[in-house]
């Protein structure tokens, strides 16, 4: 079932966000593509190139974000029936705690088993417009915070559960004066909320959104208006982000449990994931069913959780079992498949060595495994492993990295790390 559209949707104006060029204000960076042109350290250990580290209050899988001179990250403590989320703020250069806001849950979450046991109850990465921080806390809803930690509003987005009861995973994105949430787990819906008040602007509901865990990507085609693209079981959908109206859809071979987010070059979107696992490339634009006219290719290589990076005509990713992939974006043909040493990057209790998405920094790919450190290898048509960095932290590293001013911010279940040399700002 495809989305049910609102009869009336409020108009949305584009408002520029406030922030610096060094900000990393959302999941996978400013453009949601997991890439940075900044030079970052590629060698570190527990005693080398660690500018600072701080213990977190509770655990979580959300990625840190960087806004101005501060780093924000979420975590949780307690049981599903008595859960407390925490939004913590630290000084970017020193790691000094500025404040921690405790947010008791408004609704009970699903039991700690299955995939929830792998990622926990603080999985959605915050997003910031430079003046506020927005967080998605599952069945408790979406929260807006001031930069001092004050809660400005809360909007519930549902208290349902998918048939798997695996908990929330998608992160928030901003468009104009709205914050967009993939509430597939809570209500089989995607919604846009007014940034200033939390009031619902539009809602698109569909049963096909069940088991959709990826973060929607805002895409502005080289010709045309912005689109909001999300991958769902067996299809890719594109919405008008101003109204929530479906613009086009295309059929793919990707099955349920779609976790990786799509990437784009501005003309084609690339998607992978699912069970059965598959991948696909679909041209942007069009109206209605564009399967016959816009699907460029379907492939069998995929990833269950980590998202890919697109660079100079090639797609790169490391799948959950620890295999590094590179395929040609034009036709999906395999360039290489290489197993990272260490048995898939070290396996967690669910048997998956990688949850974090790779980061492309310059000509280096950084792939953070859950238990076996961060692998560094060259971008390009030939695989060349340059090294592996281990911080000696025995807890899981599920979060994707953040970058700001030449420093790398990594988060484990227990600790937030700032990786940087003395020459970094």
As a whole number, mean pLDDT of residues 26-35 equals 98
Please report, rounded to a whole number, the percentage of residues in the chain having pLDDT higher than 70.
Answer: 92
- CA gap 293, 300 in Å, rounded: 21
Q: How many CB atoms lie within 10 A of CB 42?
A: 19
Q: How many CB atoms lie within 10 A of CB 161?
A: 16
Output the pLDDT for position 147. Answer: 97
As a whole number, mean pLDDT of residues 337-361 equals 73
The CATH fold assigned to 35-206+314-419 is Lipocalin (2.40.128)
CA atoms within 13 A on the CB side of 201: 25
Residue 88, pLDDT above cutoff 80: yes
Determine the Cα angle at 418 with ends 35 and 317, to 5°. 30
pLDDT band at 347 (very low <50, low <70, confident <90, very high): very low
Q: What is the pLDDT of residues 189-220, one digit of tens each?
A: 999 999 999 999 999 999 999 999 999 999 99
Output the pLDDT for position 240. Answer: 98
Residue 17, pLDDT above cutoff 50: no
Output the pLDDT for position 248. Answer: 98
Residue 343, pLDDT above cutoff 50: no
Output the pLDDT for position 118. Answer: 86
Output the pLDDT for position 6. Answer: 45
As a whole number, mean pLDDT of residues 26-34 equals 97
Tokens (6 digits) for 224: 């045309």
Given a contact cutoff of 8 angstroms between Cβ atoms, the answer to whether 209 and 162 are in contact is: no
Output the pLDDT for position 20. Answer: 59
The helix/strand/coil state of 187 is helix
Output the pLDDT for position 85. Answer: 98
Output the pLDDT for position 16. Answer: 32
| Mean pLDDT estimate for the chain | 92
Output the pLDDT for position 348. Answer: 41
Q: What is the pLDDT of residues 314-326, one digit of tens each?
A: 999 999 999 999 9
As a whole number, mean pLDDT of residues 49-70 equals 97
pLDDT band at 422 (very low <50, low <70, confident <90, very high): low
């Amino acid at each position: 079932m495809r989305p049910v559209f609102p009869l009336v949707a409020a108009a949305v104006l584009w408002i520029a966000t406030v922030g610096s060029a060094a900000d990393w204000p959302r999941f996978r960076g400013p453009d949601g593509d997991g890439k940075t042109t900044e030079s970052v350290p590629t060698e570190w250990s527990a005693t080398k190139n660690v500018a600072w580290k701080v213990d977190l209050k509770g655990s979580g899988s959300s990625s840190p974000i960087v806004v101005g001179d501060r780093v924000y990250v979420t975590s949780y403590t307690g049981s599903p029936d008595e859960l407390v989320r925490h939004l913590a703020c630290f000084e970017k250069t020193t790691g000094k705690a500025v404040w921690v806001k405790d947010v008791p849950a408004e609704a009970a979450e699903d039991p700690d088993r299955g995939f929830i046991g792998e990622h926990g109850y603080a999985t959605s990465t915050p997003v910031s417009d430079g003046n506020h921080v927005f967080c998605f806390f599952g069945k408790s809803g979406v929260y807006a915070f001031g930069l001092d930690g004050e809660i400005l509003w809360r909007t519930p987005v549902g208290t349902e559960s998918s048939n798997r009861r695996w908990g929330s995973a998608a992160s928030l994105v901003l468009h104009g004066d709205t914050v967009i949430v993939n509430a597939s787990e809570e209500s089989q819906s995607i919604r846009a909320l007014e940034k200033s008040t939390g009031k619902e602007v539009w809602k698109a509901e569909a049963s096909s959104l069940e088991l959709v865990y990826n973060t929607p990507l805002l895409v502005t085609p080289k010709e045309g208006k912005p689109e909001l693209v999300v991958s769902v079981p067996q299809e890719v959908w594109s919405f008008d982000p101003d109204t929530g109206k479906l613009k086009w859809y295309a059929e793919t071979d990707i099955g349920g449990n779609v976790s990786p987010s799509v990437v784009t070059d501005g003309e084609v979107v690339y998607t992978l994931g699912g069970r059965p696992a598959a991948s696909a490339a679909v041209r942007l634009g069009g109206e209605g069913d564009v399967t016959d006219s816009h699907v460029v290719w379907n492939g069998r290589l995929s990833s269950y959780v980590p998202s890919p990076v697109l660079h100079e005509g090639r797609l790169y990713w490391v799948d959950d079992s620890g295999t590094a992939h590179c395929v040609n974006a034009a036709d999906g043909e395999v360039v290489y498949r290489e197993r990272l040493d260490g048995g898939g990057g070290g396996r967690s209790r669910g048997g998956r060595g990688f949850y974090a998405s790779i980061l492309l920094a310059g000509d280096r790919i950084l792939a953070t495994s859950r238990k076996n450190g961060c692998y560094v290898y060259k971008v390009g048509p030939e695989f060349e492993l340059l090294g592996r960095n281990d911080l000696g932290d025995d807890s899981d590293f599920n979060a994707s990295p953040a970058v700001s001013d030449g420093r790398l911010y990594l988060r484990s279940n227990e600790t937030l790390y700032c990786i940087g040399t003395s020459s970094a700002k």
